[in-house]
Amino acid sequence: MKPLNALSIRCDGGSVRLLDQQALPDEERWVDATDPDAMIAAIQALKVRGAPAIGVSAAICLALLAERGASTEALRACAARLRAARPTAVNLMWAMDRLTALLDRPDAAAAVVAETEALFHEDVALCDAMAERGAALIQDGEDVLTHCNTGALATAGVGTALGAIGRAWAQGKRVHVWVDETRPLLQGGRLTAWELGRLGVPCTLITDSTAAMLMAQGRVQRVLLGADRIAANGDFANKIGTYGVAVAAAHHGVPFHVVAPWTTVDPDCPDGAHIPIEERDPAEVRGAAGAFGAVRWAPAAASVYNPAFDVTPAALVTSLVLDSGVYDRAALQAGVLRTLPRRGP
Ligand code: MRU
């Protein structure tokens, strides 16, 4: 496979390494995820995360296995395991399905490798298209609020919502970003603050519960965030806390934009009620787990409900910024997503 380089994914010499997103921002540690078991563990531990990035990473892992001469049966079994590593972001399923569709061909290994390279470069181009469309919505001098991490770490390119914010800044618009810290795994506090710092975009970190108050005070002009799965009717799943931001934005008349590539749209999913929602380890809520070390503040036996995502109805979306165009609430509710082509850009 030809070398592939993204901010958080590096593939060369027959191996793939991931920038461990659980170790950021203090440590830039690269971990090898060439072995499918290591890739699955990395996806589940959120060492690689963000809807497009997990699809691209899993694809690279499968392509490298194909390149090493694995049988069609082994590739099919591995794709099924990678596909099931996390349940909500549809990009993972889409990437695995796109590659397994090639496995009956006589040149399956070469086809999977070529398709993976194409998929990686497509994601870069999709990010660019979203960045342009999203940046056009942002006005000079605006305070923009975002949730979770939707930047270069989460994709093969510049990102989705954060890519658009970065593009607006690069165009010379004076933007300031309110960064929701994003409980419980702090993708905003750890990753978005780190990325905006690298880009030089002014930003202020807030607790998730500060967002509504800032809107009430007129200190948020626009919300831009991403999605993990968008149903055919425009309802979408994104990081837990997104729905609350959407409700607050609607109450205060703040435009609320979802920025995502077409690979995040699931036309087979009729509405938000059909999106599978991942539930994660109670330890993430009882305290801080993983690379944070074992800190616990809740009683060890406290009952916990820890959904990783929530669903926001299309009725609360001002517009969906896809790579192919900007679709307003009326278009979403009229079913525009059912009419989009399934390949791009
Ligand atoms: O659990 P995560 O960190 O993978 O969740 C990621 C998100 O919710 C992002 O907002 C989404 O994937 C869009 S990323 C371009």
Q: Whole domain around residue 77: which residue ranges? A: 4-125
160 and 286, same domain (yes or no)? yes
Structural domain count, the chain: 2
Whether residue 228 lies in the annotated active site? yes
CA 285/CA 238 separation, integer angstroms: 18
223 and 270, same domain (yes or no)? yes
169 and 105, same domain (yes or no)? no
The atom number, within ligand 1, closest to the CA of 155 reads: 15
Residue 344 lies in a domain: no
Pocket mutation for ligand 1, best pick of 187, 256, 275, 320 (most atoms within 8 Å of C-beta): 187
Please report how many Cα atoms fall inside a 13 Å half-sphere around the Cα of residue 295, on the Cβ side. 6
208 and 145, same domain (yes or no)? yes
Burial class (CB in 10 A: 0-12, 13-18, 19+), 333: middle
193 and 171, same domain (yes or no)? yes
Please report how many Cα atoms fall inside a 13 Å half-sphere around the Cα of residue 158, on the Cβ side. 24
Listed residue (228, 213, 192, 221) closest to 312, CA to CA: 228
Q: Residues lining ligand 1, judged by CB closer than 6 Å?
A: 46, 49-52, 89, 148, 150, 154-155, 160, 187, 226-228, 238-239, 308
Given pLDDT bands bounded at 50, 70 and 90, which one contains residue 28? Answer: very high
Query: Quick one: pLDDT at residue 291?
Result: 59
> Residues 310, 238: contact at Cβ < 8 Å?
yes
Mean model confidence pLDDT for the chain: 96
Listed residue (330, 314, 239, 210) closest to 269, CA to CA: 314
Name the token pair of 172.
Answer: 């010379």
Residue 147 lies in a domain: yes
Q: Among 125, 153, 180, where does a domain finish?
A: 125
pTM of the entire predicted model: 0.96
Q: Order the strands of the 9-12 sheet from edge to edge.
A: 4-5, 9-12, 15-19, 30-32
pLDDT digits (tens, 9 = 90+) for 270-282: 999 999 999 999 9
61 and 84, same domain (yes or no)? yes
CATH of the domain at 334: 3.40.50.10470
173 and 321, same domain (yes or no)? yes
Q: What are the backbone angles phi and psi of residue 161, rounded to the nearest 5°?
A: -60, -45
Low-confidence winner among 215-224, 258-267, 299-308, 336-345 (lowest mean pLDDT): 336-345
